[in-house]
Amino acid sequence: MKSPAQPQLSPQETQALVSIAVLAAHADGHQVESERGEVEAVARGLSAALPGTVERARLSELARALRSPQVRERTFETAVAVCNCDGALSAEERTFLSELARELGIERDRVAEVEKVGDALATAPLSGTAPANDAETDEMIRRTAILCGGLELLPQGLSSLAILPLQMRMVYSIGKLHGYELDRGHLKDFLATVGVGLTSQYLEGFARRLVGGVVGKVAGGFLRGLAGPATGAAFTFAATHALGQVAKRYYASGRKLTGAQLKESFTSLFQDAKGLAERHTGDMQRSAASVDVKNLLPLLKG
């Protein structure tokens, strides 16, 4: 499945995108730890300087710096991702996104569609069919990795917004198998500690399509120098598979692994999972062909 050709980002566009992400993180009047981490991932992923402060009054100027419709739409989706980082959109965040959409020239129907999907995924139920043993856990991890990898093969950027909720549901199910009833806050903290976040993963795909040479700055440079939709699928498959295996170790140990141990385990397991991704290329392609991007929420119930 081939993604449409997209323009390269200029340095000015790159900086404008990061600045808009900063404004999105501050849109509700405060910036929580998860949002700050997501914005730092934006800057790293696009090799841009993280601005200390950005004036809201500059929004029109920043929007004008983004030249192509594709970049403008992806910028809006990225802002939605950052705003949704700590849950459903607040009134202040909705106001900011409406203003941003107007400045970017995003059609009203598209704005409503993106916000609706973002809200639904940010508040999607965590519970699903929990595995009964290690063998079932491994199969669930494999299926989730294939599904998330398949989403990266789709040309629509909106599909990437479903990846983090799917990963969270997987970790929730693994924790439940080991006797832990996890809430959304714990899951986001766990993923952030391991090194997996919504905007960091989303920007990996964004940078891969639009920036080319900086691919791999996010998530430790695992795929530096590679590009294209197949690379994005392999990256996401490997990240999801490694995340599931780290979660198995963590909750089976009684949550005794330190943050440093979790990151070290994730790095090692990610490298192992890259080989698995190659063997599951056909599975990811078939998964992508079966996904209805306009109806992503049922993926979290399957």
Would you list the domain boundaries of the chain?
11-122, 134-301
User: Is it the case that residue 279 has pLDDT exceeding 70?
Assistant: yes
Q: Is the dihedral of CA 32, 197, 108, 210 positive or negative?
A: positive
Amino acid at 276: L
Neighbours of 103 (CB within 10 A): 18
Give the per-residue pLDDT at 161: 77
Q: What is the DSSP letter of 255?
A: S
Highest mean pLDDT among 45-49, 60-64, 154-158: 60-64
In contact, 45 and 217? CB cutoff 8 Å: yes
Mean pLDDT of all residues in 35-48: 65
Fold of 11-122: TerB-like (1.10.3680)
Distances (CA, A) of 292 to 156, 189, 282: 11, 30, 18
Amino acid at 80: V
Q: What is the largest CA-CA distance in the chain?
A: 55
Mean pLDDT of all residues in 117-138: 83
| Per-residue pLDDT tens digits for 234-272 | 888 999 999 999 999 999 999 999 999 999 999 999 999
Instruction: Report d(CA 299, CA 302) in Å as an integer.
Output: 5
Instruction: Report d(CA 254, CA 257) in Å as an integer.
Output: 8
